[in-house]
């Protein structure tokens, strides 16, 4: 069963960064979603799975090439009621992913970014960690408390935003700006730009879903 599955989505992404990230952290399966195939090709990555409608890219000619390389290929009609990234997330879950990383999901069109953020709910509800990653940010949803290591947060700002209308009982320890049993509500920027100060930091809360963002300038 695969542990980590990487999805290269169709949004803007630097091929060099994608290549470095996958090389550094590894991936049991790489899925290219639509224009993410272009990023994979430019990054020198041969994906294991290629899927999408390919209405936004002129790379249909590479589909046979991908098949010949051993990739599994699925081509969808352009008029469908789901995005290519959603298809890739569902494919990763069917493959038994224990962790999903999505690259190329945060830049470009804001409607796609917001949809990709919402897609993180699907693996969250199945107990699978899902992270949107770009050169400056890592973003994921939390439905329970976690511990952050200093190495994981080194040189990065930590922001916590409510995904649900209310996240109750937020307690932050080991951070520059601690909180004790505080509510985070939508429409407030209270949780933006914190920092880890110790060896570890702890995020706890009672109810709701948090957006965790680790960012560099």
Q: How confident is the model at residue 55 (pLDDT cuts 50, 70, 90)?
A: low
CATH topology of domain 146-215: Jelly Rolls (2.60.120)
- From-to residues of CATH 2.60.120.320 in the chain: 146-215
Backbone φ and ψ of 213, nearest 5°: -125, 125
Does 56 have pLDDT greater than 80?
A: no
If DSSP codes are grouped into helix, strand and coil, which group holds residue 192? coil
Does 214 have pLDDT greater than 60?
A: yes
CA gap 216, 151 in Å, rounded = 14
Tell me which of 15-19, 75-79, 96-100 is least confident.
75-79
Q: Which two tokens stand for residue 26?
A: 């590894």
Provide the pLDDT for residue 77.
84
Q: How confident is the model at residue 65 (pLDDT cuts 50, 70, 90)?
A: confident
What digits encode the pLDDT tens for the residues 182-192? 999 999 999 99
CA torsion 10-13-14-18 (nearest 10°) is -80
Provide the pLDDT for residue 60.
65
- From-to residues of CATH 3.40.50.10240 in the chain: 4-135
Query: Does 4-135 carry CATH code 3.40.50.10240?
Result: yes
Does 59 have pLDDT greater than 70?
A: no
Tell me what the mean pLDDT of segment 100-121 comes to. 94
Is the whole-model pTM more than 0.85?
yes
Strands of 29-33's sheet, edge to edge?
72-75, 49-52, 29-33, 4-8, 99-103, 129-133, 137-142, 210-215, 157-162
Tell me which of 3-17, 69-83, 90-104, 132-146 is least confident.
69-83
CA torsion 175-210-187-156 (nearest 10°) is 40
């Amino acid at each position: 069963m695969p542990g980590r599955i990487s999805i290269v989505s169709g949004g803007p992404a630097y091929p060099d960064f994608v290549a470095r990230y996958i090389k550094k952290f590894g991936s049991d399966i790489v899925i290219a979603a639509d224009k993410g195939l272009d990023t994979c090709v430019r990054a020198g990555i041969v994906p294991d799975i290629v899927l999408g409608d390919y209405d936004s890219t002129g790379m249909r000619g590479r589909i046979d090439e991908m098949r010949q390389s051993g990739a599994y290929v699925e081509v969808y009609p352009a008029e469908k009621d789901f995005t290519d990234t959603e298809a890739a997330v569902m494919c990763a879950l069917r493959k038994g992913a224990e962790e999903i990383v999505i690259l190329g999901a945060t830049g470009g069109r804001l409607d796609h970014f917001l949809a990709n953020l919402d897609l993180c709910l699907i693996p969250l509800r199945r107990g699978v960690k899902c992270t949107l990653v770009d050169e400056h940010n890592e973003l994921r949803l939390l439905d329970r408390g976690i511990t952050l290591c200093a190495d994981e947060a080194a040189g990065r700002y930590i922001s916590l935003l409510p995904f649900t209308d209310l996240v109750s009982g937020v307690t932050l320890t080991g951070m520059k700006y601690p909180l004790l049993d505080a509510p985070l509500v939508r429409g407030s920027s209270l949780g933006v730009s914190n920092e880890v100060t110790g060896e570890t930091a702890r995020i706890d809360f009672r109810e709701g879903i948090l957006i965790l963002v680790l960012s560099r300038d």
